[in-house]
Amino acid sequence: MANHLKEERKRLGITQKEVATALNVSERTVMNWEHQVHAIPYDKVLKLKTLGFDMDYALEIDNEMLVDRSTGEPPAGDALLNTLELIRKHTETAINLRKQELDKKD
């Protein structure tokens, strides 16, 4: 998820600072999104789309999120809960985004 967001930003040739300014957030916030510290709020996802971000790609869930890199095993305990919560938030955002797109077509 986060790596895709950074990839999209780089593909567009814009900096974290430029994204932060366009979305009226701090550079730290953009960095946190890119490093999966926080989920991206729905209104910011919509704004990122207007900047040219492919949010379907950016919000894709990476298989690496589902494996603890140090053990090669699925995450456990708090790591599992954090991963599941992040997946839930990003899935909810993607669903809301898709609903809005469908509503525009009607």
Q: How far apart are CA 80 and CA 95, in angstroms?
A: 22
Q: How far apart are CA 70 and CA 31, in angstroms?
A: 23
* Contacts of range 20-29, beta carbons closer than 8 Å, 24 or more positions apart: 22/47, 22/51, 23/47, 23/48
Domain ranges of the chain: 2-105
Can you give the pLDDT at residue 20? 96
Question: 2-105 belongs to which CATH class?
Answer: mainly alpha
Cβ-contact 86, 78 below 8 angstroms: no
Model confidence over 26-85: pLDDT tens digits?
Answer: 999 999 888 877 778 878 888 998 999 887 777 775 555 555 556 767 666 776 677 677
List the end-to-end C-alpha distance of the chain, in Å, as a whole number: 30
